[in-house]
Structure 1
Amino acid sequence: MAGQTNKRPVLNLPRQAAVRILNGVMTEHKQLSELTQSDDFQALAPEDRARSQRLATHTLRHVGRADRALRPHLAKLPAVEVLNILRLGLVEIAGLGAPAHAVVNDLVSICAASNQTRPYKGLINAVLRKAVADVTGKWDKSPVQMLPKWLRNPLREAYGNGTIMAIETAHMRGAPVDLTVTGDLATWASTLGGTPLANGSLRLGEIGQISALEGFAEGKWWVQDAAAAWPAAALAVTPGETVLDVCAAPGGKTMQMAAQGGVLTALDISASRMERVAENLARTQLAAELVVANILEWQDPRQFDAVLLDAPCSATGTIRRHPDLPFAKDGTGISELIELQTQMLNATVGRVKPGGKLVFCTCSLIPDEGEVQAENFLRRHKDFTVDTSLPQGMDPAWRTEEGGFRLRPDYWSELGGMDGFYLIRMNRRG
């Protein structure tokens, strides 16, 4: 046609962004939460940001399956940046049912747009088409993504092979959205179409934008995994009790305990994260004193009726909603975290009034960050005893030898699982 010019094809921006995310996780060992704050990512339209994040997280959950299907068609492994394009394409086509022709053509264009990957256009096209043909009808039967050795080995020693495989299956399935509501649970279940859980959380099905749901703007509920809601429930705050929430951001537990009538002091070392707590409290119309400080250096002499310490940890219990974590981390730094947890637990002792109560918890699957910490604390501090009460909805079988509770992603599998967590309540003698 007269006047026609050759133009580079318009790239699918969500796919291109998803490839960038995968490269950032795999080559720079950055976490998805950091990568999605980049200027390039934030410049995308909201719907494109959401789609690219879904594509990237789904691919990360199925890297093992994708690599297993791709390997027979690769004489040798290409650079990670090329491999990530292949992984995303295979996962989107075989796992999400996207039309193969459109996905392959678009990924070839994305490959051609980068000097680093341009020489592999032909490989992307040929390998994807062959691999898709091979896995058609077999994708869901392929073994699930295994945890990396730095994490799988200690967890296998702690829980056994069968449990590790169940946890890995839970990670692959991802995580539904759970809410903590301030009103009647049954009413909100009917309003939002969710499922009430035994511990009082509300589990939602397929949802769109969270902030567009009824009740969000009015602060009637907030997003909080069911497992993460148990530590505050175990503390069992009563109206008028003074409560110190250590490492409070982003504020889910603070809001829980404020809604129970507690007089809250929320403490966190991060000023920026504390701004998030302030925003959440304002939305939910709940009150708490906000303190930006390090519990190890905090000079305030007050003691409290109740203290909750959600200590910094490896976050290995949250992999089902953060599938980038096994790739972005390599296990280094965990011993330092364990030492920090010990120091923080020791620092909370003087904050608990005689006759008061302390809950220690971590979103970790590693016993050294949970059961072992609690055992050592009780050995050091003879004036603390384990509380034997059972929080609402807690299965007695989840109680551990030292008296805490071990929550795992494979629990409630028929309902969609839960985050991995450890928690224990200890009471100080009067």
Structure 2
Amino acid sequence: MVVTPPRRGHSAYPQRNAGDEIAGLAARKAAARLLAAVIDARTPLDGLTDNEHGHPQYKALDSRDRALVRAILVTALRHRMTIAGLLSKRLEKPLPPNATALSHILHVAAAQILFLDVPDSAAVDLAVTHAKSDPRTLRFSGLVNGVLRSLARAKETELAPALAATREAPQWFSERLTAAYGADKARAVLAAHRHEAPVDFTVKADPAAWAERLGGIVLPTGTVRVEKLAANVADLPGFTDGAWWVQDAAASLPARLFGDIRGQRVADLCAAPGGKTAQLILAGAQVTAIDASKNRLARLKQNLDRLGLTADLVLTDLLDYRPAHLFDAVLLDAPCSSTGTVRRHPDVPWTKTMADVEKLADLQCRLLAHAVGLVRSGGRIVFSNCSLDPIEGEELCRAFLAGKPGVAADPIRTGEFAGVDPFLTSDGTLRTTPADLALESPGISGLDGFFAARMRRTD
């Protein structure tokens, strides 16, 4: 997908300004620095590009340069393997292991040349200037110039074949997808990751009317989907009135799995940012929302306030939580590897490892065991997360149910919920992937990768 940064007249063009500083260079330096933080230090991109608490080089830029930096980074990560292959073809020998700074300069420039609306000459010239400004890469400035100019000349003939032949993922992630879903489905998931995700809205009422107002469609699940927004989310109709909230269609499914919960006491564990909390409230439940992060809980309250909804908010580590009375139902949307959100967060495969997946699965199992103890006998538990890995989903639940007396599977039945049947497994659990929900075009298709299972306490 082509991401469009600012056009002519902006700092994408290497011009001297009044301070004799090359316009656009600071943005490219920031992009390379942040790419290094993601790849070399496995730092999540969202934190680096946070407007209040992000990386100092990022925060020093104006809003347009920040948008350009984020476009470069998302593109460089989304197409990292293709970029690496096309650059490698132009090197007589591989870059030395300690030449990471040079690699990041080349990737930042290549992302612009191959995928962004930036003139090739601007991308090349700024990369050469960047290389000359860094003692680590000064002696490679000629190589930078030659490699990138060759890439620019050949992109019309080489890019499409390279995309067709390349799996856009680190080896560990590609192997896990293949093991879990088979080669064909894994390829489809990785292909979906190349496209920016559409924007989904959960609406309080009348999805058809809101689809028309927002310029979108209504999915079979009732979610309103818009391929591309015409304005910032906060400027859209209905935002101030609290008529809807942004929530991927897959993320909206777990809270629906309880069925009729009117008048019931329901706990939303690990609740922030509050989309599922809002769903439970609108379904008529008396909701207690629990989160271990003060900042995330504050954000949840802000979101509920905008929506005109209220819940009991509890700041605590879930494993320390002991309510005075057991709940009728609990929802545990557990912390996970987030591998189901790569369309939105292309840094995830590069900042996580298989060891992280296994560690998080262990945490999820402990949280689930605690969650079961918070619900009354006969009450329901819904466990969910946004991981694609069965270790955090199907396999975890099978092992948990086999080893945990007093709790039993409560399979989701065919026809029980509108739009859910295509995502049901043979075990009666729910599984979505970015390759599911194929619609008219890739930009409007797909879902976040999600897993959900329903259980019932029996003792």
**TM-score above 0.5, yes or no:** yes
TM-score, normalised with respect to structure 1: 0.93
**Distance verdict in 2 for CA 1:41–1:237, change over 3 Å:** farther
Aligned match for 1:200, one of 222, 236, 257: 222
- On the 8 A contact 1:364/1:420 being kept in 2, the answer is yes
Deviation at 1:122, TM superposition (A): 1.9
**Number of residues of Structure 1 aligned to a counterpart in Structure 2:** 427
Where does residue 410 of structure 1 map in the other structure? 435
Cα offsets for 1:318-377 (capped at 9, x unmatched): 112111111122222332222211111111112222232111011111111111122123
Deviation at 1:397, TM superposition (A): 4.4
2:141 is aligned with 1:121: yes
Aligned pairs for 1:39-118 within 5 A: 39-78=56-95, 79-118=99-138
Q: Distance in 1 between matches of 2:420 and 2:285?
A: 26
Aligned match for 1:188, one of 210, 213, 223: 210
Deviation at 1:19, TM superposition (A): 2.0
> What letter corresponds to residue 456 of structure 2 in structure 1?
N
* Residue aligned with 1:305, SS: strand
Aligned match for 1:340, one of 363, 375, 383: 363
Where does residue 151 of structure 1 map in the other structure? 173
- On the 8 A contact 1:387/1:427 being kept in 2, the answer is no
- On the 8 A contact 2:340/2:448 being kept in 1, the answer is yes
Q: Distance in 2 between matches of 1:310 and 1:192?
A: 28
Gaps of 5+ in 1: none
Q: Distance in 2 between matches of 1:24 and 1:369?
A: 27
Q: Distance in 1 between matches of 2:63 and 2:417?
A: 38
> What letter corresponds to residue 93 of structure 2 in structure 1?
K
TM-score, normalised with respect to structure 2: 0.87
Q: Distance in 1 between matches of 2:299 and 2:191?
A: 32
Worse overlay, 241-250 or 387-396: 387-396
Fraction of identical pairs, as percent: 36
> What letter corresponds to residue 23 of structure 1 in structure 2?
A
Aligned pairs for 1:27-46 within 5 A: 27-36=40-49, 37-46=54-63
Q: Distance in 2 between matches of 1:351 and 1:252?
A: 21
Cα offsets for 1:108-133 (capped at 9, x unmatched): 22333333333322222211110122
**Distance verdict in 2 for CA 1:235–1:262, change over 3 Å:** same
**Distance verdict in 2 for CA 1:369–1:247, change over 3 Å:** same
Q: Distance in 1 between matches of 2:31 and 2:235?
A: 24
Cα offsets for 1:192-241 (capped at 9, x unmatched): 10121111111112224222222222222211111111101112353322
2:444 is aligned with 1:420: no
Deviation at 1:27, TM superposition (A): 1.7
**Distance verdict in 2 for CA 1:275–1:192, change over 3 Å:** same
Gaps of 5+ in 2: 1-17
Deviation at 1:271, TM superposition (A): 1.4
Q: Distance in 2 between matches of 1:428 and 1:352?
A: 7
Where does residue 10 of structure 1 map in the other structure? 23
**Distance verdict in 2 for CA 1:98–1:6, change over 3 Å:** closer
Q: Distance in 1 between matches of 2:23 and 2:85?
A: 31
Deviation at 1:8, TM superposition (A): 4.1
**Distance verdict in 2 for CA 1:77–1:305, change over 3 Å:** same
- On the 8 A contact 1:145/1:172 being kept in 2, the answer is no
**Distance verdict in 2 for CA 1:416–1:17, change over 3 Å:** farther
